[in-house]
């Protein structure tokens, strides 16, 4: 794992190469990664600028998944800097796109970010719903992993989603299944669907629907 400053330098180099090659898709991907890195570094203006550039490219090319990724990145920056209305709009639009396309990796990240922004906006009930969407997506993918070691590993970088949900439920004094309203079933994500960070290994075979 690279430090954010190192990552920013690497993504900048990748962006320069993509511009030289006039590779618009790679330009958009590099801009998204730069935006996320700048948000982590609290360089919010740069994060939003790079995200907007990526969004423009994605819309020019009519690439919906790239559009959702380009909405997520500046959404993170807007949330971190406290511009919650702008963040909520980006997350909601991104979630809508991803739900129609079926990218679970980006889907849970958008839902989780949406939940964080809703919680910051003092909308705890809506935040719980967003966290449940994120958990539902994660659990739907985890349940398809054939081996226990993969199921355990898959959740390692997503544990904060469960923590956020349980913490907020406890704060609201409403344990998750007391009223019979547990996690809503998540959509069936296509097996082998490539997400933002690649395909999921060793999935169970699925029956006919």
| Mean of pLDDT values over 156-185 | 74
Is the dihedral angle over the CA atoms 73, 77, 82, 83 positive or is it negative?
Answer: negative
| Mean of pLDDT values over 146-167 | 80
Whether residue 188 has pLDDT greater than 70: no
Whether residue 93 has pLDDT greater than 80: yes
Q: Which CATH architecture has domain 102-176+195-203?
A: Up-down Bundle (1.20)
Distance CA 92, CA 206 (A): 30
Distance CA 177, CA 188 (A): 22
* Reported confidence tier of residue 174, pLDDT bands at 50, 70, 90: low
**H-helix or E-strand spanning residue 99:** helix 84-101
Distance CA 96, CA 133 (A): 12
* Reported confidence tier of residue 34, pLDDT bands at 50, 70, 90: very high
Residue 205: per-residue pLDDT: 34
* Reported confidence tier of residue 123, pLDDT bands at 50, 70, 90: very high
């Amino acid at each position: 794992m690279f430090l954010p400053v190192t990552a920013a330098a690497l993504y900048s180099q990748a962006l320069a190469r993509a511009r030289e090659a006039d590779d618009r898709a790679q330009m958009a991907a590099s801009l998204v990664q730069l935006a996320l890195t700048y948000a982590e570094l609290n360089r919010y203006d740069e994060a939003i600028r790079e995200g907007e550039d990526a969004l423009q490219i994605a819309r020019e090319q009519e690439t919906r998944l790239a559009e959702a990724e380009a909405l997520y990145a500046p959404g993170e920056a807007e949330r971190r800097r406290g511009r919650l209305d702008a963040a909520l709009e980006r997350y909601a639009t991104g979630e809508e796109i991803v739900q129609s396309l079926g990218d679970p990796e980006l889907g849970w990240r958008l839902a989780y970010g949406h939940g964080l922004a809703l919680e910051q906006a003092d909308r705890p009930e809506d935040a719980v719903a967003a966290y449940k969407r994120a958990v539902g997506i994660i659990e739907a993918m985890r349940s398809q992993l054939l081996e226990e070691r993969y199921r355990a590993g898959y959740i390692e970088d997503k544990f904060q989603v469960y923590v956020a949900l349980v913490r907020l439920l406890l704060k609201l004094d409403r344990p998750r299944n007391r009223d019979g309203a547990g996690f809503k079933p998540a959509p069936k994500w296509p097996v082998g669907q490539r997400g933002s960070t690649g395909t999921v290994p060793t999935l169970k075979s699925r029956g006919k629907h």
